[in-house]
Structure 1
Amino acid sequence: MSYTIEEINDLLKGELVGHTTHKIDSPEQLQHAKTNQITFIGSSKYIKHWSDSKACAAIVNNNLTVEAGDNRALIKVKNADLAMAKLLELFNPKPPVMEHDIHPTAVIHKSAKIGNGCKIGANCYVGKDVILKDYVTLYPNVCVFDDTTIGSHTVIWSGTVIRERCIIGSHCIFHTNVSIGADGFGYRPSDDGAGLTKIPQIGNVIIGDYVEIGANSCVDRAKFSSTIIGDGCKIDNLVQIAHNSVMGRSCIMAGHSGLAGSVTLGDGVIIGGSASIKDHTTIHSGATVGAGSGVMNDVETGKTVLGYPAQDARDTLKQWVALKRLTK
């Protein structure tokens, strides 16, 4: 695949500055780009690398001052990151090919209902009374246990296990080795004090539409009722969501972050990498938790918290400055 700069600009609907005769065959980072590649400049700190880059074109935020150059073009857009997403979709390779709609080695219970256009890869297991709606894709070695429903156009990558009674929405993507519906972590000291008593986890997991969950992340079933992930949530790799937690719409959780039991997130909450949220805590809509923070108390709507324990980000930054001065 290769495109002229004009064809790419037609897609992005930006302002074309300058011209290049090179056909563009792929996007690449600014410092690593070659002559037939296009790059991106979304911040002023990257402008200095443009003169040394071999890229024949760049997508640039329209509030930045960048010169096109000889046989080099710029496409100025409002948001280079969003334009990059469109362009990456254009160059996105096709997914792996499965030669059989349902591979002969897949084990599918006779009571399961398989919708139109579904693809089920080698060594998959689909249990009793499972419902796969239209155009669901299960890549090889996926297990879907009894009484689970998966919505249309959802894609589940290899190694993922979805336990019994879960409800999954449409257009979701679960990456490799995701765990949905494993037992929540519930134990209490036994009466004789000699060990721990396991608390049965009889609930399930409900996941909305357009949810994406990264590799090796876990969403545990509820003790009773449901652990809920709202529509449009995006969850990174190696994230833990504990039993009875509830996430609103369009929340983001970065890698290594975790929710303890019965945490509630409002809509549009952002959790930074390696942040930890205490059980029975509520983080209200639009709030942000900085990377590495430990949230011990509820967080107000729209507030940004940072630190361990987490508090208003401005207060934390002032404390860090004060500590740095003390060391001098």
Structure 2
Amino acid sequence: MTYTIKEIAASLGAEAFGDVDLSVGGVAEPAMAGPQDLALAMKPDFAKGLPQGQAQAAMLWQGADWQQLGLKAAIIAPRPRFAMAGLSAMMDPGQGYAAGIHPSAVIDPAAKLGADVSVGPLSVISAGAVIGDGSVIGPQCFIGTDTVLGQGCFLREGVKIGARVRIGDSFIAQPGATVGGDGFSFVTPEESNIEKVRDSLGDAGEAKAQSYARIHSVGSVSIGDDVELGANACIDRGTVRDTRIGNGVKFDNLAQIGHNVEIGNDCLICAQVGIAGSTRIGHNVVLGGQTGVSDNLFIGDHVITGGATKVLANVPAGRVMLGYPAMKMETHIEVYKGLRRLPRLFRDVAKLQKAVSNPGGND
């Protein structure tokens, strides 16, 4: 599929310059771009690669001199990186899934499929499942009993969705994602060693061997519209009430969301984040990669955590948190500066101790 520079600019709400009827069929980094590619030179530093490639057109930054860069045409957007969202959608060749229902798919007669639904090879759709119009179920997917999937959803290969899950429109799940696995809920007949440590802040008392009984997850998962779930990410079902995910939430790969967790709208949950059971997350929260959040906590709106932050207490709205345990960013930086000064402090103290123990020196 090819587009003219004029068509692309109009679709993105950007300005087109030069030979606007020039056609391109793909995007590329400037140094690797061919004659039919639109080079992504969205910063002056990126534009330095243009002479190494063969691009005739490029997407540039505001105020760029496209003629001086030797181009025949250019697209200039107020915010080039945001324009990339629309541009990448236009240029995405997709996964090549065939339309219609593959003959190897297993679809229960009691399932309901909307108009223009595509189901890939070896996928299973269980009784009572409802699949919205225009949805694509990739190969080797599983959709459980009485699960509802909204319109325009897209499940990549190997996605698994358990029974009675409710998912809104425009849901995207990357390969291997799982929604509706049972929560990690186990209990001992008597107070466990873990509970003793938690209550005493470290003293387990007289520890003894214990076995664990399983608490079944009778709740499910409720997910809003326009949510994306990364590869091998997992959202557990609730113990009694549903685990709830708001609209517009984006999960990166390998995220783990525990039972009964509630996440507000438009949050970013980065790679390898783990959120323990019954924690509540506000709106527009960003959890950096490998952030860990303990159970039964509350994180307010617009909170941001840096990579590998470990949240062990409630976080008020608007905070930027770093470290283990998590603390305000400015506090964490001061603590880090203090740690770096410790070797010098130890040397100074050693000199003082020596001076005090030998006040006369060599005399």
Over alpha carbons, which structure has the higher Rg? 2
Amino acid at match of 2:32: H
Percent identical:
29
> Which one is further off, 86-95 or 42-51?
42-51
Aligned to 1:133: 132
Q: Secondary structure at the match of 2:83?
A: helix
Helix, strand or coil at the partner of 2:32: coil
CA distance in 2, matches of 1:298, 1:112: 43
Give deviations 1:136-177, integer Å, cap 9, x for gaps. 321121111212111122122221111111111111111111
CA distance in 2: counterparts of 1:6 and 1:162, whole angstroms: 42
Give, in angstroms, the shift of residue 228 of structure 1. 0.6
Q: Which moved more, 1:175-184 or 1:71-80?
A: 71-80
SS of the equivalent of 2:60 reads strand
CA positional deviation for 1:129: 1.8
Residue 222 of structure 1 pairs with residue 248 of structure 2? no
Contact 2:269 / 2:288 at 8 angstroms: preserved in 1? Answer: yes
Alignment partner of 1:38 is 2:54: no
1:57-95 superposed Cα distances (whole Å, 9 cap, x missing partner): 332332678874223554332211111222222212144
Letter in 2 for 1:221: R
Deviates more, 1:69-78 or 1:272-281: 69-78
Question: Which sections of structure 1, spanning at least 5 residues, go unmatched?
Answer: none
Report the 3-state secondary structure (helix = DSSP H, G, I; strand = E; otherwise coil) of the residue aligned with 1:305: strand
Q: Which range moves more in the overlay, 156-165 or 40-49?
A: 40-49
1:273-298 alpha-carbon deviations (Å, 9 max, x no partner): 11111111111111111111111112
- In 2, are the aligned partners of 1:18 and 1:69 still within 8 Å (CA)? no
SS in 2 for 1:222: coil
Q: What does 1:255-294 align with in structure 2 at a 5 Å threshold?
A: 255-294=271-310
Is this contact kept in 1: 2:55–2:71, CA < 8 A? no
Query: Are 1:86 and 2:86 matched, yes or no?
Result: yes
1:117 aligns with 2:112: no
Structure 2 residue aligned with 1:77? 77
With over 3 angstroms needed to count, the CA separation of the structure-2 counterparts of 1:24 and 1:135, relative to structure 1, is closer
1:144-155 counterparts in 2 under 5 A? 144-155=143-154
Tell me, in whole angstroms, the C-alpha distance in 2 between the residues paired with 1:61 and 1:149: 43
Cα gap change, 1:33 to 1:266, in 2 (>3 Å): same
Letter paired with 1:162: I
Alignment CA distance shift 1:307-1:54 (3 Å)? farther
Count of residue pairs brought into register by the alignment? 327
Q: Which position in structure 2 is the counterpart of 1:27?
A: 27
Query: Structure 1 residue 234 and structure 2 residue 246: aligned?
Result: no
Counterpart contact for 2:66–2:73, Cα < 8 Å: no
Report if aligned partners of 1:180, 1:219 keep a CA contact under 8 Å in 2. Answer: yes
Matches within 5 A, 1:166-185: 166-185=165-184
Structure 1 range deviating more: 268-277 or 32-41: 32-41
Displacement, 1:325?
A: 4.7
SS state at 2:330 partner: helix
Check the 8 A contact 2:6/2:21 in 1, yes or no.
no
Question: What is the Cα deviation at residue 198 of structure 1?
Answer: 1.2
Q: Which amino acid in 2 is paired with 1:280? A: N
In 1, Cα distance between the equivalents of 2:341 and 2:52?
Answer: 39
SS in structure 1 of the partner of residue 24 of structure 2? coil
Which residue of 1 is the match for residue 325 of structure 2?
309
Q: Deviations over 1:207-253 (max 9, x none)?
A: 11111111101000111101011111111111100000001111111
2:357 is aligned to: none
AA of the residue aligned to 2:60: V
Cα deviations by residue, 1:163-214 (Å, 9 ceiling, x for unpaired): 1111111111111111111110011224495411111111100111111111
* TM-aligned CA deviation for residue 46 of structure 1: 4.1
Q: 1:323 to 1:15 in 2, by over 3 A?
A: farther
Answering whether residue 213 of structure 2 is matched by residue 197 of structure 1, we say yes
Contact between 2:115 and 2:132, CA under 8 Å: does it hold in 1?
A: yes
> In the aligned structure 2, how far is the partner of 1:239 from the partner of 1:21?
44
Question: Quick one: structure 1 residues 27 and 326, their matched pair in 2 at CA, closer, same or farther if it must change by over 3 Å?
Answer: farther
User: Matched residues in 2 for 1:132 and 1:286: separation?
Assistant: 33
- Give 1:265 shift: 1.0
Describe the SS at the equivalent of 1:58: strand
TM-score (normalised: structure 2): 0.81
- Change over 3 Å in CA distance of 1:55–1:242 after alignment to 2: same
Q: Work out whether residues 237 and 255 of structure 1, in 8 Å CA contact, stay in contact via their aligned partners in 2.
A: yes
Q: In structure 2, do the counterparts of structure 1 residues 318 and 213 end up closer, same or farther at CA, with 3 Å as the change threshold?
A: same
Q: Distance in 1 between matches of 2:73 and 2:342?
A: 50
SS of the equivalent of 1:292 reads coil
With over 3 angstroms needed to count, the CA separation of the structure-2 counterparts of 1:323 and 1:36, relative to structure 1, is farther
